[in-house]
Structure 1
């Protein structure tokens, strides 16, 4: 991995590490729980931008473009964001090819592998800071429910869904979510099997 890519990964990892969360804080030995599988199917549905039942590299990058096109990322951040997404695809899904398409069951199997691989697990959240910055339109380092609505718009979800989700994940009810909170909640969605954690609302309503 190049030093530039290492810096990108280190920045994102540090955001979670500063929160004091480690792999011991999440349940990694029940990667096939039905609750976790529902969460991963939900993510698959968001990444399947054209809704053809599979995730392709084009889907992956198109979702990134939706966030970049909000216009709140600098040119440098857009370049870094694209590189992070590109690296994630290659590391988790393999070749960049129009024939490399990931169905739901394959996605579940791949995500189980991510959680079982310490190196991949520590990087599964590396794209989240860019999603945050993309919707933090005033560059305040905190997002409001109105800015969170932009996040859900890019996922194809409604404002009503965003308000409900925000009310659950804004645990101190101050009407704001910091970058550290955003990344921690987003990462927890990937790795936790605890159905009581508010992070289950992070990506919107779970599909059946």
Structure 2
């Protein structure tokens, strides 16, 4: 008799456990269904999805990115730590640009990499601007504007200003392709060019002579010989000077065109081979 009662008790406990498990399973499925059909709350650049209704009351959210095109401010650090990205992977992302265009972008990356560590950082950007400001030909207002535009350009193209945000050659190629594919970014990307012109226009004549163009190349870290050769090529009308309009157009065309016959290919000096 006692043994029968024990067996009945154990069976009752087992049935209760089965019912509890089924109830928990149903509740979990219902919560998952609620989660799938929950409406995200968006704040402009980030959206939040409620984990479950009980947590919603306590303000608990799961965060996910709403952006698909541009990377967030930590992408540089993340990509640099990744060992999975090969040269072929970069080329696959690489956009259908010619090898000539890629050589030009590598050339500019090398120029902007002032400390020659293989990466462009905001510190490099500042050092690059400081070379031109150090010539002393920009007035205080122009120097202030130049500094602000350099900072804004960095933030728009490469994000946060911090020591861990840097741009590799591959990233620069990818980002410049993106800039040229975005009409708004393309229009704003090189608005610092007029300040380079004003910085080397020593006599403030509104034109740059070959001697002043040599100052430009010196600030790029290039030789007077390279400057003389480049100036002879880009001074297509042979008047011995470049206007602000000519200078800016040459600077922009360097980035925009893939035509190897264009003289703008000489604007930033000899193209690197790698």
Q: TM-score range by the shorter chain?
A: 0.7 to 0.9
Match of 1:192 in 2: 257
TM-score between the two structures when normalised by the length of structure 1: 0.85
1:82 correspondence with 2:152: no
Higher relative contact order (CA 8 A, sep 6+): 1
| 1:97-156 CA distance string (max 9 Å, x none) | 100011100110110110111101011220100000000000000000000000000011
Gaps of 5+ in 1: 1-29
Output the CA distance in 2 between the equivalents of 1:125 and 1:184. Answer: 10
1:126 correspondence with 2:191: yes
1:66 correspondence with 2:158: no
Aligned residues: CA RMSD: 0.8
Match of 2:211 among 146, 149, 152: 146
Gaps of 5+ in 2: 1-94
Return the offset for 1:31. 5.4
Output the CA distance in 2 between the equivalents of 1:119 and 1:31. Answer: 21
Q: Is the 8 A contact 1:31 1:115 kept in 2?
A: no
| 1:165-189 CA distance string (max 9 Å, x none) | 0001000011000000000000000
Greater Cα radius of gyration, structure 1 or 2 = 2
Match of 2:69 in 1: none
1:50 correspondence with 2:115: yes
Query: Which structure shows the bigger proportion of residues in strand conformation?
Result: 2
SS at match of 1:122: helix
